[in-house]
Amino acid sequence: MAFLDVKAYEPWSQVLLLHNSDFSLYELTEHFHFARYLAAYPGLMLEDDLPGLGYSVFVSVIVSLNVVLFRRFYRVCLGSAPSFLMLVIFVLIHIAMNGRGPIGWFGWLLCLDLFARFNHPANEFSLFTVGSGSQVIGAMLFSSVSSGVFIVVFVSIIYLFIRWMKLHEFRDGFYISRLVVSSLVAATIGYVVYRAVVYAFDAISKILEFFGSFSDVISHGLGAFELSSDGILVLFAICIGGVSVFFVRYVLRDRLPPDIWTLLCIAMVGGAFGFTTLTLTIPLFLVLMGACLSLLASAWAREAG
């Protein structure tokens, strides 16, 4: 997109401020926005070498990776790849985003890809491998560009861990190498989770400090409508939407992995605190739309037959 001049992405003020400071990367490790800076760092370095283009190239690569991850998640959920039109819609949504939206989505889609691997019948999924551990770290790192997105991803990974622990059966005959690798990965994930918990609490406190009160935090997201003169209409629309989701769940209960509904609820609750976080529901709604279209196609085929 960058080379075709379709969309120009720009870094946001928080990471620019750190990048233009006189501090080294190591000296910034204790800064509250260091994780955000680290997530955008490759793009900022490219921007230094290619002014006006470098950061857009970096984000365009992220968008391409998002398409790959979404396509894989969609295929695991529905058993078939998304249509070309579905992928076009997915990319157009990225074009409407600012410079950190695709990066936050990358963290979320890495999280969804973990669930895709967990629900894939042909793969034996484990959280305590180098690949899964790296994916967990990447999901939390890139989602840190937005406090709301980070909290949604963090809660989702905790939910995945609980699901995996319930289903995982520990077997005898572990090889020493596998045990050592699992221990190292577990220690790394444990440290990352510790840092993530600290970051999550810091993020919540910073959000409350910035907005002043919980009601002001809510007004940053869907609560902005509820507090307006059209609040009753919006609440009515939310109720209709909720009922529709439950109806769709009933219709599609055997066609989708059960985790998708929990993830949708987590993302929707997070959306009450910010519209950027609310956009995390879009990939899930696209999967639901694909499932509905597939169901309709099957019904039409039966009638035609």
Angle between helix 130-143 and 101-119 (nearest 10): 150
What is the distance of C-alpha 290 from the center of its chain?
Answer: 19
Phi, psi of 286 (to 5 degrees): -65, -40
Q: How many other CB atoms sit within 10 Å of the CB of residue 69? A: 20
Q: What is the pLDDT of residues 75-130, one digit of tens each?
A: 998 888 999 999 999 999 999 998 899 999 999 999 999 999 888 777 677 777 88
pLDDT, residue 192, reads: 58
User: Which structure tokens are listed for 208?
Assistant: 């409350």
pLDDT digits 0-9 by tens, 155-190? 899 899 888 877 765 444 444 445 554 555 555 555
Spatial separation of the C-alpha atoms in residues 95 and 9, rounded to whole Å: 9
Q: Report the alpha-carbon distance of residue 112 to residue 240 in Å, rounded.
A: 26
Identity of residue 295 = L
Between CA 40 and CA 286 the distance in angstroms is 27
Q: Which of 90, 95, 101 is nearest to 7 (CA)?
A: 95
- Counting every residue written for the chain, the total comes to 305
199 with 150: CB under 8 angstroms?
yes
Closest CA relative to residue 264, chosen from 279, 234, 284 = 284
Question: Between residues 52 and 86, which one has the greater pLDDT?
Answer: 86
What DSSP string runs through 186-204? HHHHHHHHHHHHHHHHHHH
User: Higher-confidence residue: 144 or 190?
Assistant: 144
Residue spans of alpha helices (H) in the chain? 13-19, 34-49, 54-78, 84-95, 101-119, 130-143, 147-167, 176-211, 214-219, 223-226, 231-251, 259-271, 275-278, 281-304
Q: CA-CA distance, 55 to 10, in Å (whole number)?
A: 7
Residue 175: what pLDDT?
A: 44
Considering only residues 81 and 215, tell me which one the structure prediction assigns the higher pLDDT.
81
Contact 128, 185 (CB under 8 A): yes
Torsion 239-244-250-253 (CA) sign: negative
pLDDT value at residue 205: 57
Give the containing element (helix H, strand E) for 45. helix 34-49
Distance, in Å, from the CA atom of 55 to the CA atom of 67, rounded to the nearest integer, reads 19
